[in-house]
């Protein structure tokens, strides 16, 4: 069968690129055909409709399914994505970070297509140990059907607000969110076993670094960043805004008022990037050293914004913005934002241009007394809706 050959080369590629590193992750990817969990999807605006049990799979559709592509699987009336099958390299990174073992009990926030739940079921050895929860009843119905058809009907699929977790199935050894989170839900922390692990894509200025956390004492989490991800935002009780702007100002489509030369530090970063990085299309989505700067910027200034317009700062009143792009620093309006952005870049450079994985972090509930959560040159404090967070420029002990 054509799909069998594609599965083999698809997994071989994940292994060769170092994304599926351990035997358990590799075995799971080889055991679970991805196309069993896709019925209709969109890639770059084009729709593909397929039936697992039918013969209407085109070669192009199968090749997309068995490529490193995120597949949009649901859209709303405005054609905006609402659900997807995540990029396989990101799925592999998250499975490696979870460090799953047979017999572990797992909770997934965001059911998606069920593919990730099936992979985790393979790794823990018993589908009944995996619970996946989603707020969208249509997603829940489809996920149940696809998991059952693929032989993973034992997975518990719950309709509900993922922010609340699922006490009925807990406590859990691992809790993983496959949606972009504005904060940590302390309900998840309460449902973790004492030696458990929480993995979530956490919002920093519109980006979702993958944060790996453990309970170090009651009411306190500590951990590190595993890598970059990009997910659709969580719905329900945790759909509250993170403390950064979520959209670019409306300048009526006009071009920047001024384009300045790149800051020298960012110019040097750009020069070191691989030649195969395609900056002509959606460069702002491509994980790179630019994001090392942007993560630090999001800690320095709550006006940090990332989008197709660039990486930079926007004023709350929407009258001005300054964005870094590969071709320069683009300025709209008259304000102190360009000076602020340049100063933030200089501060990042002064800290040694820390990479994403070099930051350690701690979390406590917003109402907790945390006298050691104080800012200094290399330490930043972020206040979210439910948590207060300290981020420091050295990797925390796991």
Residue 185 annotated to the active site: no
Tokens for 125?
Answer: 């050895």
Q: What is the pLDDT of residue 27?
A: 97
How large is the average pLDDT for residues 304-328?
91
Average pLDDT, the chain: 88
> Which of 308, 282, 311 has the alpha carbon at shortest distance from 295?
311
Task: Write the pLDDT tens digit of every residue in 132-158.
Answer: 999 999 999 999 999 999 999 999 999
Mean pLDDT, to the nearest integer, of 288-313? 90
Q: How far is CA 278 from CA 43, 71, 130, 231, 284, in A?
A: 18, 20, 38, 21, 10
Q: To the nearest whole percent, how much of the chain has pLDDT over 70? A: 92
Q: Residue 371 — very low, low, confident or very high, per pLDDT cuts 50/70/90?
A: confident
How is residue 87 annotated by DSSP? P
- For residue 16, what pLDDT is reported? 92
Q: What is the pLDDT of residue 49?
A: 76
Distance CA 282, CA 69 (A): 14
Strand partners, 209: 228
pLDDT per position as a tens digit, 180-237: 999 999 999 999 999 999 999 999 988 899 999 999 998 899 999 998 887 888 888 8
What would the mean pLDDT of 46-55 be, rounded to a whole number? 68
Confidence (pLDDT) at 229? 86
Pairing of strands 106-109, 81-85: unpaired
CA distance 303 to 319: 13
Residue 10: phi and psi, rounded to 5, are -60, -45
Active-site residue identified among 83, 84, 86, 169: 86
pLDDT on residue 62: 85
d(CA 99, CA 123): 9
pLDDT at 191: 97
Predicted TM-score (pTM) of the model is: 0.90
pLDDT reported for residue 202:
95
Q: Residues, the chain, total?
A: 398
pLDDT recorded at residue 308: 86
Average of per-residue pLDDT across 318-331: 92
pLDDT digits (tens, 9 = 90+) for 96-115: 999 999 999 999 999 989 99
- Which alpha helices (DSSP H) does the chain contain, by range? 2-16, 23-31, 59-65, 88-98, 115-124, 137-149, 186-190, 264-272, 289-300, 337-350
- Of the candidate ranges 27-31, 72-76, 119-123, 218-222, the one whose mean pLDDT is the lowest: 72-76
Q: What is the mean pLDDT of residues 326-333?
A: 92
396: confidence class by pLDDT, cuts 50, 70, 90: very low
Question: Of the candidates 28, 63, 27, which has an alpha carbon nearest to the alpha carbon of residue 48?
Answer: 63
Q: Quick one: pLDDT at residue 294?
A: 92
Average pLDDT for residues 332-343, to the nearest whole number?
Answer: 95
């Amino acid at each position: 069968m054509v799909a069998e050959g594609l599965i083999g080369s698809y997994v071989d590629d994940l292994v060769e690129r170092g994304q599926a590193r351990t035997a358990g992750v590799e075995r799971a990817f080889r055991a679970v055909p991805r196309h069993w969990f896709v019925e209709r999807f969109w890639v770059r605006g084009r729709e593909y409709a397929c039936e697992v049990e039918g013969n209407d799979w085109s070669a192009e559709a199968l090749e997309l399914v068995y490529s490193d592509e995120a597949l949009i699987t649901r859209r709303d009336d405005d054609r905006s994505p609402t659900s997807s099958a995540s990029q396989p390299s990101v799925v592999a990174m998250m499975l490696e970070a979870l460090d799953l073992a047979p017999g572990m009990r797992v909770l997934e926030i965001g059911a998606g297509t069920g593919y990730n739940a099936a992979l985790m079921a393979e790794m823990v050895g018993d589908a009944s140990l995996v619970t996946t929860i989603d707020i969208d009843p249509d997603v829940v119905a489809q996920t149940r059907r696809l998991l059952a058809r693929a032989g993973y009907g034992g997975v518990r699929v719950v309709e509900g607000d993922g922010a609340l977790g699922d006490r009925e199935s807990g406590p859990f050894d691992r809790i993983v969110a496959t949606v972009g989170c504005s904060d940590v839900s302390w309900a998840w922390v309460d449902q973790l076993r004492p030696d458990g692990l929480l993995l979530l894509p956490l919002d920093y200025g519109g980006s979702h670094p993958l944060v790996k956390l453990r309970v170090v004492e009651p009411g306190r989490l500590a951990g590190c960043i595993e890598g970059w991800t990009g997910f659709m935002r969580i719905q329900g009780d945790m759909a509250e805004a993170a403390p950064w702007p979520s959209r670019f100002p409306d300048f009526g489509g006009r071009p920047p008022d001024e384009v300045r030369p790149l800051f020298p530090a960012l110019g040097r970063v750009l020069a070191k990037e691989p030649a195969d990085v395609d900056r002509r299309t959606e460069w702002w989505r491509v994980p790179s050293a630019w994001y090392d700067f942007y993560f630090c910027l999001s800690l320095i200034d709550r006006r940090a914004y990332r989008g197709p317009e660039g990486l930079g700062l926007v004023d709350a009143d929407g009258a001005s913005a300054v964005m870094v792009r590969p071709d320069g620093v683009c300025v709209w309006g008259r304000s102190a934002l360009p000076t602020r952005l340049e100063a933030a870049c200089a501060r990042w450079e002064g800290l040694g241009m820390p990479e994403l994985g070099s930051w350690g972090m701690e979390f406590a509930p917003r109402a907790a007394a945390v006298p050691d959560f104080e800012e200094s040159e290399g330490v930043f404090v972020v206040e979210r809706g439910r948590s207060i967070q300290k981020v420091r420029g050295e990797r925390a002990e796991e």
